[in-house]
Amino acid sequence: MRDPKLREIDERAFLRRLGPMLEVYAATMAPPAEQLPGRHTIMERHAAYPGFRAFVAERRGPLPGLAGPVQGFAYGFHGSRGQWWHDIVHQALAAREGAEHADAWMDDPFEVAELHVHPAAQGRGLGRGLLTALCEGRPERTVVLSTLDLRSATPAQRLYRSVGMVDLLTGFEFPGGGPLYAVMGGTLPLAPYPSASSSP
């Protein structure tokens, strides 16, 4: 079985793949089905944000539990005032640690909006490859994202920590309810990955 290839895609190619990417999103996040149309709209809107960048992991041939060629995807953009996630996180950071702390992380960030690998394709380094490719060469000073915050560290959290990212907020509930998240941040460029012998 050939490994999937990482490919950078532009806005138009991203929009053409929204269906397959939402399939991966649904498999990894298990959201209520009624939330998927809203997620589709959000991702469509994100494609027009400044500094948008996206990668997919695709392969030819079927994979158990997956109908299309997209096995994983990641995208992000330049964060700025007026964006929902950016403003919510900036406000929470300022309330907890002060405006200067919030500005240090959120004045010039690359915001990783989504990074998901289908469960049937996990454990082969696709998430690491997507994150590395997405952040490589970015002009922003920091990288920030949110990820599910469970009782024990998730594989995603271990991945982000392995490149120098730290917890900025934990047990954080975004407006509207839902699961708790950890907001994490790091400086760009990302720290080198640990050697294979010491990686999680």
Q: Is pLDDT of 63 > 80?
A: no
Across 8-12, 118-122, 188-192, the highest mean pLDDT is recorded for 8-12
CB-based contact 77:51 (threshold 8 Å) = yes
For the segment 80-97, what is each residue's pLDDT rounded down to a tens digit?
999 999 999 999 999 999
* Annotation says 75 is catalytic: no
Lowest-confidence range among 14-23, 56-65, 117-126, 160-169? 56-65
The stretches of 64-194 forming alpha helices (DSSP H) are 84-97, 99-106, 126-135, 155-162
For the segment 4-43, what is each residue's pLDDT rounded down to a tens digit?
899 999 999 999 999 999 999 999 999 999 999 999 999 9
Over residues 49-76, the mean pLDDT reads 86
Phi, psi (degrees; rounded to nearest 5) at 75: -155, 160
Amino acid residing at 125: G
> Whole-angstrom Cα distance, residue 79 to residue 158?
24
CB-based contact 39:22 (threshold 8 Å) = yes
Cis amide prior to 189 (ω within 30 degrees): yes
Catalytic residue among 25, 49, 75, 160: 160
Q: Is pLDDT of 68 > 80?
A: no
Regarding beta strands 142-148 and 109-117, do their DSSP bridges make them parallel or antiparallel, or are they unpaired?
Answer: parallel
> Whole-angstrom Cα distance, residue 181 to residue 18?
24
User: Can you list the positions of beta strands (E) in the chain?
Assistant: 5-9, 53-58, 70-78, 109-117, 142-148, 166-172, 181-187
What average pLDDT does the chain have?
Answer: 91
Give pLDDT, residue 199.
31
Give pLDDT, residue 64.
64
Confidence of residue 193 (pLDDT cuts 50, 70, 90): low
Query: How many beta carbons lie within 10 A of that of residue 74, not counting itself?
Result: 27
Give pLDDT, residue 40.
97
Residue 184: strand, helix, or coil: strand
Over residues 35-56, the mean pLDDT reads 97
Over residues 129-137, the mean pLDDT reads 97
More confident residue, 196 or 5: 5
Whole-number Cα distances in Å, 140 to 9, 27, 144: 20, 31, 11
Q: Is pLDDT of 200 > 70?
A: no
Nearest to 126 by CA among 6, 8, 34: 6
